Amino acid sequence: MSQGIEIPVIFNVGQVEVTRTVVTTWGLMAGLGIAAWLIKRRLKPTPGPFQMAVEAMMTYLDEQIRDIVGREPPRYLPLAATLFIFILAANLISLLPVVESPTADPATTSALALIVFFVVPFYGISERGFGGYLRGYLKPAWIMLPFNLIGELSRTLALSVRLFGNMMSGQLVVGVLISLAGVVAVVVEFLGLITGVVQAYIFTILTLVYIGGAVRSGAPAEEGEK
């Protein structure tokens, strides 16, 4: 168990410290890549159970994108699906012994939130033009401009801290309980399972909501109007 929120350094490359998070993420990337390659290689018209599960997930995400963003999915699906699958795998990998999830490191979650921070204006500008997107900040009235700007920053912070806080606290609680009560901690680990799935879902849905706010006409901060 890690001591608090310190992330141990595995090895050094010159001046660069390679932490446990980075190593776990590399493993995760390799695993997900190989899994995707394997599934792609044996796609069948009559899907097996694994292909069925992946197809169900993609269909669900398609539906969500159509509902929330209000556009056809192919342009938005890669981002949403990548975020969902990566965060889900990263959250659940802590169930394996020894391995700790990369999302319990603020660096990982900040990186993910920064991706969202930059991709939202990208989609907004490509959909509505530069002026159109910037005009969105002046809605509903020009006086709202500072609040829209602060909202843009604070929601990015909240996005990263929410994922980090949930995953790290889950691991911390399990660690404390193992040292106090032993096997009882398994129950809390199950709770962590639920938290992991829900947090991955929430991160993806919130990303889609932000993109939807930027892509449709209206203020960027406008949420959940559907």
- Which residues of the chain form contacts with other proteins (CB under 8 A)? 4-6, 64, 67-68, 158, 161-162, 164-166, 168-169, 198, 201-202, 205-206, 209, 223-224, 226
Closer CB to other proteins, 44 or 226, in the complex: 226
Query: Which letter does DSSP use for residue 226 in this model?
Result: -
Q: Shortest approach of other proteins to residue 201 CB, angstroms?
A: 7
Q: Shortest approach of other proteins to residue 196 CB, angstroms?
A: 14
Closer CB to other proteins, 188 or 205, in the complex: 205
Q: How far is CA 36 from CA 47, 68, 75, in A?
A: 15, 26, 19
Closest CA to 145 of 224, 223, 220, 225: 220
Q: How far is CA 25 from CA 2, 5, 107, 159, in A?
A: 17, 17, 12, 19
Closer CB to other proteins, 189 or 223, in the complex: 223
- Burial class of residue 115 (count of CB atoms within 10 Å of its CB; 0-12, 13-18, 19+): middle
Closest CA to 176 of 54, 168, 121: 168
Closer CB to other proteins, 5 or 29, in the complex: 5
Q: Shortest approach of other proteins to residue 162 CB, angstroms?
A: 5
Q: Shortest approach of other proteins to residue 113 CB, angstroms?
A: 12
